[in-house]
Structure 1
Amino acid sequence: MSVLVIGGTGTTGSRLAALLPGARVATRTPAAPGQVRFDWDVPATFEGALDGVHGVYLIPPVGVVDPAPVVESFLAQARLVRRVVLLSSSAVPESASGMGALPALVRTVPEWAVLRPSWFMQNFTGDHQVAAGVRDGEIVTATGDGRVGFVDAADIAAVAARALTDPVPHNTEHVITGPEALGYSDAAAIISDLTGRVVRHRSVGAEEMTERIARSVPRQFAALLAGLDEDIRAGAEDRVTTTVEDVTGRPARSFRAFYQDFLSRTPAA
């Protein structure tokens, strides 16, 4: 099956593309063989990216409160596509509009899967706001003592690869977590232990969190993200599944193992 990986240079997409030799990597700025231009804001790029494609890894547009109309338009053009694997989130319930409307759209395709991962371990590295907090020695969230089944993006990609290539379509939703649920204070303690540098977690209210996030994204989207923190505080993400092992045959990676590996690949300051 020829596969189009939307967001193919991103966190999960790049890892998935590495598992699927010959996959077509969709990106706004193609710069390498196998990459094709794709931009959710430019519908004229849809047709070329879909040419000859039979499977799609679908990452909806980032930072858009209601991506359903543009995703519906894209799927309407995907006439030859038999299988779609949607990257959603465990934090997004199904609904009539917004992100929650996307699973219903995907289920109109003959073969499908909806991936609903918990929060990424990669948020503690790179350019994410949590990662900036790690570097500053203080992670700030509105999650309180709520726990999260943080998951490695590589494990999400492994599940996606099977969902795209298994002979029998999955036609189901996969809630994907790591092997343990941790509070941000627990994660900070693990990072402190591995690095020898004190990292703490400070919880704030949703309004303050909205203001902090709105420094880098539109306020409406910042409020949505702060609301997800409040859901964590209330226990919405305090769960662990065996999806990674059930689908791939190997267990999900722990947060300690993930961060230890990250440190081993990071040049010393």
Structure 2
Amino acid sequence: MKRVIVFAAMVCAVLTVSAQDKKVVVVDKFADNTTETSDVVDALRTDIIAGLNATTRLTVVDVNVMTDLPATTNERLKAFGEKGINYVIGGTLNTMTYDKDVKDGKTTYTSHVSYTLTVTDVETGESVASKNYTDLSSLNKTEEEAAIAVVKKAHGAMKKFVDENFKVEAEIADLEQENEKKGAVTVYVTTGSAQGIQKGQIFEVFSEVTVANRNVRKKIGELKAKEVVAEDMTLCEVKNGGKDIQAKHKAGVKMTVVSRAKKSLFDTIDKGLDNLLQ
């Protein structure tokens, strides 16, 4: 059965970036609940900033370059808002533990890290997202080396973090290629490099329908970015739903596309386990 998603629920669940702008985020100082040196939490924060910048989806500001910020939370949020910042990304280093292994006279260390990232809406002051992360790094020569090595893995987690929490919303502008069997094969969508879209980005396609006197979004297909052709235009291949997309385009029905994170192997395994348990 195809999913029907209530529009209001989607708006509440994610931070949607329109196809006309990038959201501006400030990365605040991170809290540290461990006994590690400040170098470790600083390395975690620095790598997260680098990972956020690498997505090109957001304009990222380091709070350390800002001066004369108020001490109280409400006043800080007000100051951020006056500088055009939309969201605050905060973080906490929760735990850092080590396993020592001696083999053939050689000692190595494996580090285990746990940290949390949060997103706060500057305008409302509300926390709109929170995500816990764990990772490990093995075969390090010292505990210090192991600590730095594991927090540097945070860079790779930021693509999915941004895809999950700062979604891009646009529309299907036109069909580029279609055939009788598959329907729409490739399409153009109204978002591109200006919003940080990159080759391989996945989009879900929705059309709006009326159910019980309510406007709801019904998922009708999925796209994959094939080529970013302009600041506001991307050529996508249709992964599924080509027939529906073709029919609605010919009927003049507006179709919205919303970016989503790529599904990992673990997501597939989790879904399979859920189905088995049902």
TM-score, normalised on structure 1? 0.23
- Between Structure 1 and Structure 2, whose CA radius of gyration is higher? 2
TM-score, normalised on structure 2? 0.22
